[in-house]
A and B are shown apart, each in its own frame.
Chain A
């Protein structure tokens, strides 16, 4: 058999895993470090995607969407942490309800501003690149590379840097960290903002490859959550295995039957993990 015939499926799988992992990363940060399930995560991805749409439709360079999305998501993240999450760290259930309300607010706002219809963007970097004898879209390769760099850098920074260590201290024991004089409140706020910014960034990255519309966030929050259920919180390995399993099963079953079958199998896997390994494959 021709070895080149494996390259395209392998790259497709890699692309699927990378895009799922980059979308789930923001949720992993917020849920893993702060214990807050941000149900508006998918809508923050949507905000990023609409930023890309605005940049492109205004004729700005595509990269202009990055600062736009970061600024918007940082503002949203900061205010949400300050007003909706911080008063309720002791009441995680209410946080869930409130971020769900926020997701509704963002979705309805997008609907009011941009309408219900699909927006499609053109890839900012067109054309293909020859990989081992197979030509593959350049933008997808760029996305895989960006996802790998962002994930790798973030986890390395978290494990190695001084601030990363302090955040680990906050995660392990917030009261003790506060007693040691660490600005726990500021770290929590910064962590939340980092999570929302990562969501916005993911939105900018994937926007040219998916239909941009107000309801897109629903799929992303569910898929991201299932990735974390399966992979477990707090490690790069967990995030990648989760993305691989969820993304792999979803695309495999979808290809064999239809998208409904793919969706159903992801749901079944999530429920099985909930029973058998509630902390995921890579439990902390």
Chain B
């Protein structure tokens, strides 16, 4: 780890040195131009965070860049004679856009699943609105002609100093983003982009996570904007409007939105090229739009993808450097028996009755099997328990606490774990990241998500699972490269690692070979005795039910038809009737 850190420091130092030496090579005019694009590059990093990492596209980032530029411009003018105040005002000019972005994110992401296009459209609308405000509010913003005569940063207003400030800010911003990407937060963002529902089922508030990503992008745009005002000396409404917002998206895409430095690379390369070609070649912007479409269609990795072989070599070296595991803290409520009761639960969708005054009780540490024909309401029951499906009537109580109106992530945090019927993983994430996310579930406090060391968490249960399933120990493989059986086991392992007190398993053995099935049964029983968890299994295979179940519920048409031991159920004529189709 230490050698690795030294190598990183060396690389960052070399990059900083190269940036510092650049003006000597290209001359003052170009250095001045580059300084501007460094500031745009910082904002483009933020587009990368949202679009490349967390998977939602902001179309109005100019709003935050321009807002910070206006704030910092106004502060520089107002406090020209008292520069001490600027130490407070300039950071404020960065924070305000960040806080605003967070507030917008919280407001818009509140409804899950609807956020993709809605979010993009609302950010676009906000940028256009901001343009109107900046244009019309002449007394403050200077109107169409802009805010003029902004002084440079005190003591740093030579061309060379302005370049150095921009370069230092870019390096600092890139380090900040690199840190976020290494921290659990960055892993969760990447997970969100691929499978939001699974992230929620680990007890994370996905809407809040997205709002934090958007806040980070707002603050990054804020850094660029706050430095833009003193560097350029002029802030116009064009900055908050659509044009810069669109450029930032293009730069991020062409540079490579998925990588850390791609968006910055795009901003600098395309920005400089545009500055050169825009006036000489009238169709340049059209060419750029075509390049954008082509990159999105055929080369989503962008320019950064072109130099990826180098990065890949670096990653392999990092993986080899073995870092010691850290014991994850135990769950606060570990070992307490769970008690879940559903009473009178009604779910109707249109004319169709899904659950019909369903009453179920899981009140001791045991393995319960829920069986029933297709459409009996088994998976819907799980969805009601985990707060994803709203019941029109009835109560769901966990440890005698009403949970029917809690959002899904909070239900899960009470100690309920779930494995979906179809293996639900994050295709592009590594096995190690999957297991780490599962360990953070219900253990990591919000601020812990900023600590990269959490990626080295381990637990006795994880060690035991790795010993049973060697493929879990090779953490570098992507989930997309796993076989169906391995994915089933990976998801089961993730559900177990949170050490929930109530574990909901939806057909854990579907599509597994007899050997794999035997292994899964083994693990379920072992967890049951080892951790005293209450386990509810939906299953079709009666042979499996016979080997697993302590108690069986038979669901039919949304209500309980029969319950009892396996033997009692098999002897029940009503159960035989629905399975064999005998006369009423």
Contacts and interface: CB of A to CB of B under 8 A. Distances in A.
A94 interface: yes
Given A104-B292, A278-B111, A271 B132 contact: no
A100 interface: yes
Contacts of B132: 259-260, 263
A37 B117 contact: yes
Nearest to B257: A97
B289 to A, nearest CB: 4
A98 B108 contact: no
Interface in B513-556: none
B282 interface: yes
B25 interface: no
A271 B116 contact: no
B444 to A, nearest CB: 28
Contact of B286 (A93, A105, A259, A263): A105
A222 B117 CA distance: 11
A97 to B, nearest CB: 5
A108 interface: yes
A156 interface: no
B390 interface: no
Contact of A100 (B59, B107, B129, B286): B59
A1 interface: no
Interface in B236-257: 242, 246, 249-250, 253
Interface stretch (B118-126, B355-363, B463-471): B118-126
Size range of the chain A interface in the assembly: 35 or more
B285 A112 contact: yes
B120 A105 contact: no
Interface in B106-148: 107-108, 110-111, 114, 116-118, 120-122, 124-126, 128-129, 132-133, 136
Interface in A9-38: 37
B111 A267 contact: no
Contact of A101 (B107, B124, B125, B289): B289
B525 to A, nearest CB: 39
Interface string B52-66: 000101010000000
Contact of A267 (B122, B133, B136): B122
Interface string B17-59: 0000000000000000000000000000000000000010101
Given A108-B289, A222-B124, A259-B132, A278 B59 contact: no
Interface residues of B, number: 38
Contacts of A270: 122, 125
A109 B285 CA distance: 8
Interface in A62-83: none
Contacts of A84: 293, 297
Interface in B262-308: 282-283, 285-286, 288-290, 292-293, 296-297
Contact of A274 (B111, B120, B129, B289): B111
B76 to A, nearest CB: 26
Contacts of B289: 101-102, 104-105, 108
Nearest to B126: A267
Contacts of A108: 285-286, 288-289
Contacts of B242: 215, 218
A277 to B, nearest CB: 10
A263 B241 CA distance: 14
A259 B135 CA distance: 12
Contact of B121 (A87, A222, A260): A222
B111 A271 contact: no
Contacts of B297: 84, 87, 98
B563 to A, nearest CB: 37
A238 B559 CA distance: 38
A274 B122 CA distance: 10
A236 B484 CA distance: 46
B527 to A, nearest CB: 36
A81 B551 CA distance: 54
Nearest to B243: A215
A278 B108 CA distance: 11
A263 B129 contact: yes
B121 A105 contact: no
A39 to B, nearest CB: 8
Contacts of B249: 100
Contacts of A278: 111, 114
Contact of B293 (A98, A225, A226, A229): A98
Interface in A196-216: 215
A112 B278 CA distance: 11
Contacts of B120: 96, 100
A175 interface: no
A122 to B, nearest CB: 28
11 contacts: A84-B293, A96-B117, A98-B297, A100-B249, A101-B296, A108-B286, A222-B125, A260-B136, A263-B128, A267-B125, A274-B114
Given A98-B297, A104-B250, A275-B111, 7 more contacts: A97-B296, A101-B293, A105-B290, A222-B124, A229-B118, A263-B129, A264-B129
Interface of A: 37, 84, 87, 92-94, 96-98, 100-102, 104-105, 108-109, 111-112, 215, 218-219, 222, 225-226, 229, 258-260, 263-264, 267, 270-271, 274-275, 278
Interface of B: 55, 57, 59, 107-108, 110-111, 114, 116-118, 120-122, 124-126, 128-129, 132-133, 136, 242, 246, 249-250, 253, 282-283, 285-286, 288-290, 292-293, 296-297
